[in-house]
Structure formats: structure tokens, C-alpha cells
Chains A and B, each alone.
Chain A
Amino acid sequence: MESRRDVFQAIADPTRRAIIGLVAGKPQKLNAIARHFDMSRQAISLHIRILKECGVMSVTREGRERHCALRLEKLAEATDWLEPFRKMWEARFDQLDNLLINLKSKKNEK
């Protein structure tokens, strides 16, 4: 896989999406994050490194601990992040258009 580092790369993986969801609530220590997942600390550490490289997470060292926080402004800045949400509304409204056409033609039949 090519090493693209952007918001889309960050959210392309279900574990990383789960990590984002977890840290969105509040910043957390890497060890605390790792405990939520049924995989090795090394694997989680790698995901967090990717999130950092994608620019959506900041990681600061404090002694032996590593603190992870989401860079929400980075996520929000990327308007494409909202694209699937916008698409959902478009899909919904296309269906509503069809329904409204049906309602109208039913009325005309009467």
C-alpha cells in the first residue's frame, strides 16, 4: 500500500477509526488506549504513529508515557472529512424527490 499520509489514510482503517473515536472524548495515554484493543501494544503504537503522520493526532512524551490527543481542528479543516455525511443527505434527498413525485402523481390520478 502506498504511504499516503492524510485524513483519509487516517480513517481508512477500522482500528484507527476506533482510536479516533476513543481519543475524541478526551486525550489519553498510549497504554490506556492499547488496553481497549485486543491486539498488541506494538500494533496500536503503529496505528498511532500513522495517525500522527497523517496530522490528526499529537503525541507528546512525558517520561516513559506518551500522551495522545486529537487535532480536531485538523480533522475539521479537512472539509472532505464531511463528504460521506454530505453524500448521505444527498442520497436521502434523492429518495425523497422520488417519493414526492409519487405523491403528486397519485393525487393527479384522483
Chain B
Amino acid sequence: MNFSIDKENKKILVEREFAAALADVWAAWTRSELLDQWWAPKPWKARTQKMDFREGGHWLYAMVGPDNEEHWARADFKSITPLKSFSAQDAFCDKSGNIDQSFPRSMWMNKFSESSGTTKVNIEIAYTELADLEKIIEMGFREGFTAALENLDELLDEK
């Protein structure tokens, strides 16, 4: 996996290859019953409330923690080119999908390409401000989405 930060353009760039056909990878990213199976890093689980995968539609889901605590999020789909790319704007929200304006939002562009049986996914997450990026990361720590709270001790030990 390639993971880098482009500070100048306030973007996080992620790239990863999968040993699977493009159609399967596309389905895993765009069908909620599949997304629910991998989107949340353990011990969290993703649970879809609503999925409307079309331009102007949105995905509303909860990240459910080990103690059944829920954090709601949504992704609003902006552009979709089937089997090639889609872009979406993310947000934290309540369970009815009302957006929490106090958290920065970011714009996602996901591109898919296949060559000789492997599928490459290219993700760009763009923030308005570098400070937003820091805020999201900081919040990730606090909420434990990033598994940071479990891993922090490990990281601290490694230091």
C-alpha cells in the first residue's frame, strides 16, 4: 500500500492493489452489503442505514463500536463513472443524516483500474485546510476509529 500526504495540495493519497477482478472490487466499494463487511476496521463494524449509489445520492451508515456505541457518517456521491471512478464528500452526522457542521468535510476521489487480473484502487482525500486534516486525525485518535487508542501504547513503546 502507498500512503502519503501531499501537504501543498492538502491531500492524503492512498493506493493499493487487489488480487481480484475489477468488477468485484468495484462491487465491494459500491454495494452496502459488501461495504458493511470491510469498511470499519475491527473491532468496529459498519452498518448501513441507507445506500443510494447514484450521483446526488448518499450512503448513510453507522460505525458501531464494541460496546455498541454508534458514530454516524454519510458520503454524498458527486460523480460516478461505472467501473472507473467515483467521487464523494464525507461528513459526520446524526442517525437521520443531519450533517454535523462542526467537523471538517473532505472530498474523495476513488479511481479503479485493472491490469492482468489485479485491480488498483487510487484514493485521493482532499481537505480544505491542512488544519482540517489535523483535526480529523486528532478526532480519529479520540474516537478510536483509527484503532489508535489500542495501537498508541504500542507506538509509544516502539518509540
Collect the chain A residues with CB atoms within 8 Å of residue B12's CB: 85
Q: Are A80 and B18 in contact (CB under 8 A)?
A: no
Cα–Cα, bound, A89→B12 (Å): 12
Q: Are B137 and A103 in contact (CB under 8 A)?
A: no
Interface of chain A: mostly helix, strand, loop or mixed: helix
Cα–Cα, bound, A86→B28 (Å): 20
Cα–Cα, bound, A104→B27 (Å): 12
Q: Are B3 and A75 in contact (CB under 8 A)?
A: no
Cα–Cα, bound, A97→B28 (Å): 10
Of the listed stretches B51-59, B68-76, B88-96, B128-136, name the one at the interface; the rest are far from the partner chain: B128-136
Q: Which of B3, B42, B152 contacts A91 (CB 8 A)?
A: B42
Collect the chain A residues with CB atoms within 8 Å of residue B138's CB: 11, 17, 20-21, 24
Collect the chain A residues with CB atoms within 8 Å of residue B3's CB: 82, 86, 89
Interface residue? B62 (CB, 8 A) = no
Q: Are B39 and A76 in contact (CB under 8 A)?
A: no
Interface residues on A, range: 35 or more
Give the most central of A25, A100, A103: most B CB within 10 Å: A100
| Number of A-B pairs, beta carbon distance below 8 Å | 115
Collect the chain A residues with CB atoms within 8 Å of residue B139's CB: 21
Collect the chain B residues with CB atoms within 8 Å of residue A76's CB: 5, 7, 130, 134
Interface residue? A37 (CB, 8 A) = no
Collect the chain A residues with CB atoms within 8 Å of residue B147's CB: 84, 87-88, 91
Q: With A84-B147, A99-B37 in contact, is A89–B134 under 8 Å at CB?
A: no
Q: List residues of B whose CB falls within 8 A of some A CB.
A: 1, 3, 5, 7, 12, 14, 16, 18-21, 24-25, 27-28, 34, 37-42, 130-131, 134-135, 137-142, 145-148, 151-152, 155-156, 159
Q: A100-B20, A104-B21 are in contact. List 17 more A-B contacts (CB 8 A).
A: A8-B159, A75-B134, A76-B7, A83-B151, A84-B152, A85-B137, A86-B3, A88-B146, A91-B42, A95-B37, A98-B38, A99-B37, A99-B38, A100-B24, A101-B20, A103-B20, A103-B27
Q: List residues of A whose CB falls within 8 A of some B CB.
A: 4, 6, 8, 11-12, 14, 17-18, 20-21, 24-25, 70, 72, 75-76, 79-93, 95-101, 103-104
A-B pairs, top 10 by smallest CB distance, nearest first, are A84-B148, A95-B38, A91-B41, A100-B20, A84-B146, A88-B146, A96-B38, A86-B3, A21-B138, A103-B24
